[in-house]
Structure 1
Amino acid sequence: MKKTIAIIGSGFSSLAASCYLAQQGNTVTIYEKNETIGGRARQFKKEGFTFDMGPSWYWMPDVFERFFQDFNKNSSDYYELIKLNPAYRVYFGLNDFISIYDNLEEIKNTFEQIETGSGEKLQKFINHAKSNYDIAIKDLVYRPGVSALELITVQTAFKLNQFISTVSADIRKQFKNPKLIQILEFPVLFLGAKPTKTPSFYNFMNYADFGLGTWHPKTGMYDVVRGIEKLALELGVTITTNSPIEKIIVKDKKATGLLIDGKTIEADIILSGADYQHTETLLDIEHRAYSEKYWESRTFAPSSLLFFVGFNKKIANITHHSLFFDVDFNQHAADIYDDPKWPEQPLFYANFPSKTDLTAAPEGMESGFFLIPLAPGIQDNEQLREVYFEKIISRFEQLTDQQIKNSIIFKRSFCKNDFVDDYNAYKGNAYGMANTLLQTAFLRPKLKSKKVRNLYFTGQLTVPGPGVPPALISGKLAAELIQKSFSS
C-alpha cells in the first residue's frame, strides 16, 4: 500500500533511503534544515574556490555501483570517477614519506624496500582482508542489526576469533616497521575507533584501501550528492530545504507527522537520517528509546577541526591526499579516546582537490582542506582554532620544504561547535558512533524505534556505521525495514 513518508535530513543515508522508498511507490519528501542538501557532505564555494566540507575519500566503489544498480543505473550515469595515483602520501618527517600507489604490486614493492619480507606478508594479509571484505560487503553489512543471529553464518562463525582480536594486534604480529604499521592501521580510523579497539574483522578496510584503490569524483564528492539527488528527483522524491524540525508528532505511541515552522506535516512514516540522539530529543521523554546516560556511555568517533584554505599559487611537493604522521600517533589517539583534550602535537590530513580537479581553484592557484581529528565534546573557540592552524601550517611548510603562509588568500574554519550548530551532532562528532566490538551490528542503536510505531532511523549512529558507503547501505536497510512493515 502506498504510504506518505517524511524523511528528516538530506545526508547520504536519507538520500539513499528516499530513492528506495520512492521506487516502492511511496510519496516521499525530504526535509533539510540547511539551505543546501548533503548533510556533512555539503559544499563550500568562495572566490572561485570549491571545497567538499565533509567526506573527501571515495572508497569501496562497488558499494556505490550496487546502490545505482538497484535502480538499473550506473554511477557513470551521474558522475565521472578518476582513480588517484598515488592514492595518497604519508609524511613521517622532512624528506621522509611513503607514497601509496594505485595497485597492490607497487605497494608490495614499497613495503619490501622498507622491511624485508613484508611484500609477501602484505599479499597474504590483503588476501585475508579481501575474504573478510567479501563476507562483510556482500552479506553482513546488508543486515539490519535486529538480532545477534545475523552474525552466525557459516563464514563468520568459523572466524569468530576475529571479533575478539583487534586490527592492531593482527598487524603487529606480521609487520615490525612502525611506518608500515601506521599505514596499515590508518584505514580503520574511518570506522571511528582506535585500531587497538577495532575488531580484526574490520581489516577488510585494508582491502578497500590497497585492493580497490582511492577514487575521486571529477569535480568532488558533491558530484555524488548531486547524482543521488538527481536519481531521487527522477523517482519522484520532493526535497525541501530550510526546514528544521521542531517536533515529531506522536499519537497513541505512533508517529503521525512533523512540526515544521509551527505547521503540522502529516505522514504515515517518519524516517530520520539526522543525528540519532538529536532526533530523539524531538520526541517527548517517554517516547525516547535511549537515555542521555546511554549516549554518554557510547564510544563516539572523533570530531574534527577543519580549515578550508585558498592559496594564490600552486603548492609543491604534495599529492591530492596527504597524511602527516610525523608525531606520536598513540598520544594523539589517547587525547581523543582516553583523556579527551586538545592534542599537544596533532596528526593531520591535507587534501588538495585542485591537484586533480582544475575547477576546484582559479588557474594557477590551489584549494586546500586540512583536518585535525579531535575528541568530541571538548572546548572549541576561535583562539584555539588559530593556535592549531599555526601548528599544522608550520609543520606543513617544514615537511614539504616550502613557504605557503604568505600565499593564503582566505581560510574558513569548521569545528565542534559548527558540527553541533549545522548538523545537531551529539558532542559535535564528525563521524557518528565508532565500530568497536560492543558497538557492532545488532549492538548499535536500532533502525526501528523500540517505543514509537512508524518511526525509523538511518545513518552513521545506527547500522552498519560510519562512512559514506555504510550510509548508503543504512538507507537501503531502513527502506527495506519500512517496506517489510507494510506487508506484515
Structure 2
Amino acid sequence: MKQIAIIGAGLGGLSAAVTLASRGYDVTVIEKNEHVGGKLMPVITDGHRFDFGPNTITMPDVFRSVIRNSGANPEDYFELVKLDLHTVNHFTDGSTFTFRSGREQMEEEVRRLTGGKADQNQLADYLDEAEKLFEIANKRFFTRMETKMDTGLWSDMMKVHPLTSLHALHKKYFKDPRIIQALDRYATYIGSSPYVTPGTFALISHLELNDGVYYAKGGNWTIAKGFAKRASELGVEFKLGQEVTKIEVMNGKAHAVVIDEEDVLSCDAVLLNGELLTQYPRLVDAIHRPSFPVPTRDTVEPSVSAFVVMVGLNKRLNLAHHNVYFSDDYEAEFRALFEEERYADEPTIYISNSSHTDPSMGEAGDNLFILVNAPAHLTDIDAETYEHLIRRRLRKFGVEWDDADVVYHHRVTPHDLTRDFYAYYGALYGTSANSKKGAFFRPSARSEDVSNIWFAGGSTHPGGGSPMVTLSGQLAARSMLEDIPLTI
C-alpha cells in the first residue's frame, strides 16, 4: 500500500485525504495545531461559538462532492443551509443595500435602493456577465492542475476582462456608487484591491447573487469536522499537535517527512497543505528546489491580512448574519493597505453574527466576528487603540454595546496569523490578485523540482477561498491517483 503524507489539516489536505483513502491509499495527516480545518477553526466559549475562518460559504457542491465521491452521504457529515437574505451593506448616508440569493430578489432590492432608476435594468445584464465569467473560469482554471497558456486559454482569457479592473467593470454597468462599492468588496474575498484586480473576479457576484450564500449548521467548521470524520472512517491517521520540520529529498524525490525534528515517517508522496510561500522553503532544502527561491515582498505581493475582534455579548443587536459598514473613501482605504502599507484611518468593517441564523452559535447573546482589512507587512499597531477606532465607527452606524454586555473578547492580528498559521507576511490568501500573474498564474499544484510533492491551499492554484482550497486538494489527489499506482 502506498503511503501518502499530508502536511496540514486545512480543507485542501482534508479533502485530499478523503479522496486518497477512499481509493485505498495509506494516508497520514500531520497538523501542528490541535484542531483540523486550518484557519477554518472553531472558537468555543461558555455561551458562544465563532467560526474563525471563512464565514461565507459558496459552491456547496464542491464540499458535498468530496463526501459523495468517497461513497457516503454528505448530509451525514454536515448540513449546508442556504441564506435568502445574507449580507446587509451599510453606508454613511444611512442607506442600506441588502444582498439576497436570487435575481428577482436582487432586482427588487436595487429598485428599492435607487427608486427604480436605470441600475435596476443593468443588474440582469451584469449577473449574466458574472455567470459567463464563472463558466469560463470553471472550465479553464478551477478544474485544472495549473494555468498553462495555449491558444484556447488565450482566447478565453480575453473574454474575462483581464485588462479591466473590477471597479472599472462595475462602473460600466452601474451608476449608483453604493452598488459599485458593495460589489467592489468582492475583491477582498481574494485579498486584493478592486481598483487593480482584474474584472474576472466579478464571477464572485454570480456565486453569491445567482447561486446563493450558504452556512453550515453548527458553524462552518463542521465542514472540516465532517471531512475529518469521513477520513478517519476510511482509515486516515491524524497526528494533531505535531509538526513536520523537514521533508527529506533524494534524487529529486521526497522519501520521508521528519516530525518534531526526530520522528521519521517514510512516504511515497507528500501533499503540502500549508502556506506554500513560507512552508515549502522551510521544509525543503534550497538545493532541491532551484525553481522556488524564498519569496519576498519585492517578488511576490501578499494579499491583505486581517485585524479581528471576536465579541460575545449577553444581548441581541438585531444584526443580520453578514453585515458590512463601508468607509466613505474606499479607494483611499486600499491605497493605505497596499501602497502606503498601513492600517486605514477609516476602515470598512465586516461583522458576522451567525447566531442570527443559528441560535446555538450564541446561546448567551450575539457572537460578533468583527473583521477589518489589515496591511500584510506586520507593522506594529496599538491594537487596543485601533479597536476603539472600530467601535467609534460602528457607533456612527448605530451599532454599539457597553463593556458590561461583553462576556467574551479576543483579538487576532496579522502577527497572530503569522505565528499560528505561518501566513506569508500575515496575509490571508498568500499572493494578492493585484497583478495578472497573481490573478491567473498562481503556483502549480505540483512541485517543479521534486516529482512527488504536491501542493494544496490558498496560495496555490486555483486560489483562495474555501471552495477553491477544497478544489486544490481534489486536484492534487487526482494527480496522485494518476501518477502513484497502488501497485507497481
Q: Which TM-score applies when normalising by structure 1?
A: 0.93
Query: CA 1:146–1:398 in structure 2 vs 1: closer, same or farther (change >3 Å)?
Result: closer
Cα displacement string for residues 322-381 of structure 1 (whole angstroms, at most 9, x for unaligned residues):
011033211111111112112111111011111111111234x22111001111123245
- Partners of 1:139 and 1:290 lie apart in 2 by 25
Structure 2: gaps spanning 5 or more residues: none
- Does residue 344 of structure 1 match 2:342? no
Distance 1:154 1:147, change over 3 A: closer
Residues 440 and 464 of structure 1 are in contact (CA less than 8 Å); yes or no, is this contact kept in structure 2? no
Alignment of 1:298-313 (within 5 A): 298-313=300-315
Instruction: Say if 1:402 and 1:277 are closer, same or farther in 2 by CA, change over 3 A.
Output: closer
State the partner residue of 1:259.
Answer: 258
**Do 2:9 and 2:38's aligned partners in 1 also have CA atoms closer than 8 Å?**
yes
Query: Any idea what the Cα deviations from partners look like across 1:104-162, whole Å, max 9, x if unmatched?
Result: 2121122233341111211011012112222322553111115223x7259716x4462
Matched, 1:32 2:31: yes
Once the 2 structures are TM-superposed, how far is the Cα of residue 164 of structure 1 from its aligned partner? 2.1
Deviation at 1:405, TM superposition (A): 3.8
- Counterpart of 1:370 in 2: which secondary structure? strand
**Comparing 394-403 and 246-255, the one that deviates more:** 394-403
Task: Report the more deviating stretch, 463-472 or 54-63.
Answer: 54-63
**Equivalent in the alignment of 1:118:** 119
Identity %: 26
- Quick one: structure 1 residues 402 and 140, their matched pair in 2 at CA, closer, same or farther if it must change by over 3 Å? closer
1:75 and 1:133, CA in 2 relative to 1: closer, same or farther beyond 3 A?
A: farther
Partner of 1:445, secondary structure, is coil
TM-superposed deviation, 1:255: 0.9
Deviates more, 1:5-14 or 1:238-247: 238-247
- Shifted more, 187-196 versus 36-45: the winner is 187-196
Measured against aligned partners, the alpha-carbon deviations of 1:405-444 in whole angstroms (never above 9, x if no partner) come to 4311231111111111111111111122223421244x21
SS at structure 2 position matched to 1:256: strand
Q: Report the residue type matching 2:189 in the other structure.
A: F
- Asked if residue 474 in structure 1 is aligned to residue 472 in structure 2, the reply is yes
Query: For the residues of structure 1 that align with 2:66 and 2:132, how far apart are their CA atoms?
Result: 21
Does the CA-based 8 Å contact 2:445-2:460 persist in structure 1? yes
CA contact (8 A) 2:255 2:267 kept: yes
Q: Give the drift of 1:235.
A: 2.1
Once residues 129 and 73 of structure 1 are traced to their aligned partners in structure 2, the CA distance between those partners, rounded to angstroms, is 33
In the alignment, what sits opposite 2:42?
43
Give the 3-state SS of the residue equivalent to 1:35 in structure 2.
coil
Partner residue, 2:201: 202
Distance 1:267 1:420 in 2: 28
1:315–1:404 contact (8 Å) kept in structure 2: no
Q: CA deviation at 1:201?
A: 2.3
Q: Distance in 2 between matches of 1:139 and 1:160?
A: 12
Residues 293 and 58 (structure 1), Cα distance of their counterparts in 2 relative to 1, 3 Å cut: closer
Partner of 2:418: 420
Q: How many residues align?
A: 480
User: What is aligned with 2:20?
Assistant: 21
Counterpart CA distance in 1 for 2:34 and 2:205 is 36
Give the match's secondary structure for 2:192.
coil
Is the partner of 1:271 in helix, strand or coil? strand
1:279-336 per-residue CA deviation (whole Å, 9 max, x = no partner) reads: 22112121233223566422221110111111111113x2111011033211111111
Compute the TM-score of the two structures, normalised by the length of structure 2. Answer: 0.93
Q: Secondary structure at the match of 1:93?
A: coil
Counterpart of 1:392?
390
Structure with greater proportional helix content: 1
Most deviating of 447-456 and 268-277 = 447-456
Tell me which amino acid in the other structure corresponds to 2:302: F
Give 1:470 shift: 0.2
Name the residue aligned to 2:277.
277
1:459 corresponds to: 457
3-state DSSP class of the match of 1:194?
A: coil
Cα distance in 1 between the residues matched to 2:480 and 2:78: 29
RMSD between superposed Cα atoms in Å: 2.1
Deviation per CA, 1:53-93: give whole Å up to 9, x if none. 11111112232234333334453232222222321101112
Q: Is the 8 A contact 1:197 1:437 kept in 2?
A: no
Distance 1:404 1:395, change over 3 A: farther
User: Quick check: 2:141–2:147 contact (8 Å CA) kept in 1?
Assistant: no
Q: Distance in 2 between matches of 1:103 and 1:410?
A: 36
Q: Which amino acid aligns with 1:14?
A: G
Of 67-76 and 302-311, the range deviating more from structure 2: 67-76
How far the C-alpha of 1:219 sits from its partner, in A, is: 1.1
Conserved? CA contact 2:191–2:305, under 8 Å: no
Paired with 1:146 and 1:213, the residues of 2 have a C-alpha distance of: 27
CA contact (8 A) 2:58 2:207 kept: yes
Check if 1:185 corresponds to 2:175.
no
Instruction: Tell me if 1:376 matches 2:381.
Output: no
In terms of mean alpha carbon deviation, does 282-291 or 467-476 score higher?
282-291
- The answer (yes or no) to whether the contact 1:270–1:456 under 8 Å persists in 2 is yes
Partner-residue secondary structure (3-state), 2:376: coil
Matched, 1:290 2:300: no
